[in-house]
Structure 1
Amino acid sequence: MIRPGLLVLPAHGPARYFGGERALADRITEAISAVGFTVRVGAADTVFAAALAARQGRLVPAGRTARFLAPYPVGVLGRPELAVLLTRMGLPTLGAFAALPGDRVTARFGTDGAAAHRIARGLEARGLSTRAPGQDLTVAHQFKPAVALLEPVAFAAKELARQLHERLAAAGAVCARIEVALELTGGKRLTRLWRHEGKLSELAVAERVRWQLAAWQETGALADGGGPAAGIVRLALRPEALSAATGRQQQLFGASGIAELEAAAARLQAMLGHDAVTRVALGGGRGPAERAIRVAFGDVPPENRLPDGPWPGQLPAPYPAWVPAQLEQARLLDAQGEPVAISARLLLSAPPARLIVKGHRPVTVRGWAGPWPVLEQWWNTVRARRLVRMQVVTEAGPAWLLVLEQGRWWAEAHYG
């Protein structure tokens, strides 16, 4: 039941039983009409096309759904913004939209646009997964005899990465994490999880395995009871957090720029280490400095730092133009030259008169807003944090975001 009045059912088996789709449609019409309802029946290769065919009472032959859909306007897709944009681009019909290359559609319109493109081509919006329930996509290599050198293991990792990507592609899936597992002589097992996000190439996966092997060797994890290195008997790559492969949106005109960037980042990581190349991601937090976090290239932000709220006490817009890497020492003084304090009831001890930020000239305070309290993790005696924020406008023009914590003032950000 799609909605009241619209019912969808697979027709292949029943049609064969009753002598064809037309005979099946007639039987359905007779049965529903017998109880006093008017019914129209349509058939096509997809649910979307069958619903349109039912409006006309048409039975679209198998394999001709795309031809049936071609004359329809793009507005029937139910995506108003996409329909307006396609019309302005000179693609007013589903047939014109379906003629576009799939990779270009994904690059320009994202996964939702790719789903609409599949519908226009006479396919279901999401491809069916061919992965059997409980199917294990792990790939592994046995070393006989056990090896002590890392080069053969790194070479095997490259081949395993290729096999893993082939299995994921065949199953119509991507994974969010990859577990690298190493089994040593004596039964010792080492594991490490790497973020994947569906973007790591075969070479990138192999490189990460090599980095991990080197790290285990440096830390002595490969040693056998503190002695010489133990032999490696098995290497396995196991994908985790599987989801349907919906495509990846890249830049508008081709993906060469992104591919070159990823290759350059992978080379730097190979030389300098995984954490040497980072990107800035939007994270969760209440202050501006907390929301900008650095994530190693190829990883995704930690789940406990996602920007989704709620974040009570979060700084509202407009946001500061400049946030220093470290809080800068500051002094907020009253007209008598005494530090301004804030009581437990959020009352100022005196109106602010002067602001002194380390490395900047003292300025006169023209106005202020706040204070706003922030109480974080009050239930945790170790990580509990209590602070107060204020916005201060100076006669020089710029405004500052100040923080009072444990009786000391700090400059957290600057409004340029």
Structure 2
Amino acid sequence: MSGRDGAARVLAVWCMDWPAAAAAAAADLPATTPVAVTCTNRVIACSAAARAAGVRRGLRRREAQARCPAAHVAVADAGRDARFFEAVLTAVEDLIPRAEVLRPGLLVAAAAGPARYFGSESLAAERLADAVAAAGAECQIGLAGQLATAVLAARAGVAVEPGRDAAFLSELSIRELATEPGLSGPGRADLVDLLWRMGIRRFGQFAALGRAEVATRFGADAVIAHRMACAEPMRPPAGREPPAELAVELRCDPPIDRVDAAAFAGRSLAATLHRGLESAGVGCTRLAIHAVTDTGSELVRVWRCAEPLTAEATADRVRWQLDGWLNRRGADRLDGPVTTLRLEPVEVITAAALQLPLWGGAGDADRQRARRALVRVQGLLGPEAVQIPVRCGGRGPADQVALTPLGDEPVIRFDPDQPWPGRLPEPAPAVLLDDPVELLDGDGAAVHVTGRGLFSSTPARLSGRYAGPLAWWAGPWPVDERWWDPQAASPGRTARAQVLLDGDPGVALLLCYRRKRWYLEGGYE
């Protein structure tokens, strides 16, 4: 199938390894420093200097540090990426107004205006590259007839000739379908793996498949990927003008001058916006964020997404943008507290485009409704009111779970896949507790754990919340954590024991001995 290039050309600016560049900027390191950014203890981005030393995406943090001991390792932080990308956006908008952000590190704009102003597309690309370099970043420019093609052309640093989008894409590896988060939906990596195993290695091979075959065999996201491979227009450069009542506005009283307050206000405003979108039966794919200060000045930024924004995704973008405006130094920053915050859906799509897939749609809808309800609770009570568990590494049951506010990037303190000698064996307690108790022997004397890791006497009874004689016990299992670090928050030497209270049915409990006292750590069900 041949591509159908529209008359309007698209220009894409791609800042390579942006998470690593933002991490280096946050640590005030020179651009030549090897940097690796990790998520769940695996490298997700690295600088050119780190790659030269052998660091690659997908490596474990420990292996990356072994290959390049001088590398600066930072944890992934979407807010940091957006905050430092604001300087690049300002530099680009000085030359091209109304550039759209696909994600921090990648933006797109219509090429016709810059080409007319600077004389040609190539001259416009050169000026943009110089402006981004002056802002302290490196970039590659791509030009093509379609947005998706322009983004892939930017990753290759080329300008696709008019009418040649399909020819350019046909020779690309099929794995390029999943390399750019701004263009792919959930499950795209699985689709690419399946196509690769089927022997479809190039865009051209995928484009040669019939649309009906793709839709019936692979699903809705595969149809979007197929249209992208065929270089078909997937979205016009400017969406239809949405009804005015869809825009929402918040008068900030008192005015907002802190990022945490801005994030809270943005989350509440995002929930209000999406209630209006749902009532109108539309979804937002381009969102304009307006902030007006107490001096009367106004800043506007347009964010663009491959898929319709959820309330959570909208709140994240508001938080990132306000963080960048509040903390950035220079002319393009807020010159005072925010008095008015406005969200305007610049581009919307109809409910037909939001139809759920045939398989699993009801479950997805239920999850979305539950998530919207939880976001509403956060809007009323604050971000910390709704938290989700994240699996972490540790020896005790409480150490293996960390709570993260819904919508925030999960922070994993320790890798759960490490060996963790001394970890409590399975099964884990069903309920976590933290109540002080007394473990007694047959004479009523307190039972302690000696320096040799043994009971001082034979346990016979438990007093406290769960009082009663013991039918069975096991342990103790001593653990001495971080004994070399006197400043560590760990309690140091601990021991655990499992007990079963006599009764029908008996109650199984996990006890923890720390700081010379016994505590109920969990209950088994």
With the shorter chain as reference, the TM-score category is: 0.3 to 0.5
Q: TM-score, normalised by structure 2?
A: 0.38
* Greater RCO (Cα-Cα under 8 Å, separation 6 or more): 2
Larger radius of gyration: 1
